[in-house]
Amino acid sequence: MHRISAIPGGWTGDCQEVIIIDQSSAPIVVLSAADTDLQALAAAVSRLGAEFPSVRAVNLLQLQQPFSLDAYGDAVLSRAQAIVLRLLGGRSYWPYGLEVVKEIVAATGAALWVVPGDDRPDPDLSSHSTVTLGAVDRVWRYFVEGGAENLMFALQFISDRCLGTDYQPPNPQPVPRFGSFPTPNSSLAGANRPMAAILFYRAHYLAGNVQPIIALVAALEERGMEAIALFVSSLRDPEVQGELVAYLQARGRLRLLLNTTSFSLANLDRGEISPLWQQLKVPVLQAILSSNSREQWEENFQGLMPRDVAINVALPEVDGRIITRAVSFKAVRSWNQDLETDIVVYEPQLDRINFVADLAANWIELTETPARSRKIALILANYPNRDGRLANGVGLDTPASCLEILTALQKAGYQVENLPKDSDELMAGLTAGITNDPESQDLRPVYQSLSRQTFADYFQTLPTQVQQAIKTRWPQLSGDRPSDFPIAGRQLGNILWRFSPRGVTIAIPL
């Protein structure tokens, strides 16, 4: 049995319920997973006037359930004369939906445009269209250039071709694929302040969906940085990469890059890493503009939904970006009567933006700290919590890799003392002291620990709800406990080599 939620063309993100989109039919229908498309379409329709044929739009995320799609197909798509389907990720992103739409247009004779959701041509995807490839390419380029004006021209072009009108719009109007976004604090540039650059998609710039970017700029400025916001069509575009590098190198003083674009720049098929990050030579922090609402994020045990984890965490990590946290969530800004759909924007979350800004300031401070004074913790896996599972990794010689890392750090000027001669000596040194093995915890010496007072001071900074949840899970915190918390591992100068914390299934004497 399904729970059915009837909503008026609305947006709910990765909702597990079956959703019925409540829209009336119209001659032109646009399907897209990009909220920026819907924002720009709303602005475009408002410019066309009451005499223009009706247009409907819906976010593809609302049509993930087959029942939802079938119902929308019967009520809206089957009555349309022109359908534009914009897919990010190719045919595999929405295979059932594509087949349903093709069946509908085969039965009704409606014109179908199937275009990529990014700026890379996809001949296989476009071949599912029923109009000429020239017409497909023109509509795709309207969307690629983006903005209300280009989408207004796209709708006029579609109307001329399918509905007998005579608007004769101009060809797609080019919009720079790279540029700077002036924010309220842009005039605060100063030669003595470290510079942090924020990257975001041009689509957000064109749609005016920039509140999280403005908030990030303000937070970085409050922490003594000169923050600049730069929009890009796609970081995969070599020309955009070249413009970005030239712009930042000309400005100088770049100390950190805060990136909000998705995916990886690496060519995973060929095992090639993009040279962009090496050219910039600064830490790259990945801030996440979540594709879901704050309520969904709070209710989900894992926080981010699988789609966000894939494109904003897992893939950016391939590039070596430093993952931070979600700094904004989607929220409905308004109901658009013309499109009969919700217009969704990103709402900044100031507590999370402040966290990322603090992290950025710390990374800049770290880059300005001499290597010999930097302190690094290297964490080895240890699950289950037995000595026989120390530094375990399937198909990997973890101790040998660890020794290579320590050697490289020492050569780079980091303070590494008593460097082991081989991996056997490294592991012997680690197991000479306390480990996570519960059977030997009382038999081995403790070489480093966390004081009770340090723990208590930090614990008091946590939200009350979090404190209570920790105390409920580990009631030992409320009773008698040792004055110090033992830490398994060894100190090698400024390098702490330790095991991952003990699993929660093991009794922890806190």
Domain with 322 in it: what CATH number? Answer: 3.40.50.2300
Mean pLDDT across the chain: 90
Query: What confidence category does residue 254 fall into, taking pLDDT thresholds of 50, 70 and 90?
Result: very high
The full DSSP string for 122-177 is -HHHHTT-SS-HHHHHHHHHHHHH-HHHHHHHHHHHHHHHHH-----PPSPPP--S
> Do residues 495 and 416 share a domain?
yes
Give yes or no for residue 395 having a pLDDT over 60.
yes
Give yes or no for residue 341 having a pLDDT over 50.
yes
Give yes or no for residue 190 having a pLDDT over 80.
no
What average pLDDT does the segment 59-67 reach? 91
CA neighbours within 13 Å on the CB side: how many for 187? Answer: 1
> Do residues 231 and 113 share a domain?
no
Share of the chain above pLDDT 70, in %: 92
Q: Which residue has the higher pLDDT, 502 or 53?
A: 53
What average pLDDT does the segment 316-338 reach? 94
Query: What confidence category does residue 510 fall into, taking pLDDT thresholds of 50, 70 and 90?
Result: very low
Question: Residue 47 belongs to a domain with what CATH number?
Answer: 3.40.50
Query: What confidence category does residue 25 fall into, taking pLDDT thresholds of 50, 70 and 90?
Result: very high
Q: Is 483 helix (H, G, I), strand (E, B) or coil?
A: coil
Q: Is residue 462 part of a domain?
A: no
Domain range for 54 is: 4-163
* Length of the chain in terms of residues written: 510
Whole-number pLDDT of residue 256: 97
Query: What confidence category does residue 6 fall into, taking pLDDT thresholds of 50, 70 and 90?
Result: very low
What average pLDDT does the segment 75-92 reach? 94
Give yes or no for residue 3 having a pLDDT over 60.
no
Exposed / middle / buried, residue 464 (Cβ in 10 Å: 0-12, 13-18, 19+)? exposed
Q: Is residue 457 part of a domain?
A: no
Whole-number pLDDT of residue 503: 56
Whole-number pLDDT of residue 186: 55
Q: Is 391 helix (H, G, I), strand (E, B) or coil?
A: coil
Given 108, 134, 163, the domain boundary residue is 163
What average pLDDT does the segment 344-369 reach? 96
Whole-number pLDDT of residue 148: 93
Give the span between the Cα atoms of 407 and 483, in whole angstroms. Answer: 35
> Do residues 159 and 213 share a domain?
no
> Do residues 213 and 309 share a domain?
yes
Whole-number pLDDT of residue 475: 82
- How many CB atoms lie under 10 A from the CB of residue 239? 10
What average pLDDT does the segment 79-85 reach? 98
Would the pTM of this model clear 0.85, i.e. be above it? Answer: no
Query: What confidence category does residue 5 fall into, taking pLDDT thresholds of 50, 70 and 90?
Result: very low
Poorest-pLDDT segment among 121-125, 133-137, 190-194, 488-492:
190-194
Given 330, 347, 367, the domain boundary residue is 367
> Do residues 328 and 266 share a domain?
yes
Give yes or no for residue 205 having a pLDDT over 70.
yes
- How many CB atoms lie under 10 A from the CB of residue 60? 19
CA dihedral 116, 121, 122, 127 (to 10 degrees): 90
Give the span between the Cα atoms of 139 and 305, in whole angstroms. Answer: 31
Share of the chain above pLDDT 90, in %: 70
Give yes or no for residue 70 having a pLDDT over 60.
yes
> Do residues 113 and 211 share a domain?
no
> Do residues 118 and 17 share a domain?
yes
Whole-number pLDDT of residue 301: 87
User: Can you list the positions of beta strands (E) in 47-148?
Assistant: 55-59, 82-87, 111-116
Whole-number pLDDT of residue 509: 31
Given 367, 394, 426, the domain boundary residue is 367
> Do residues 55 and 140 share a domain?
yes
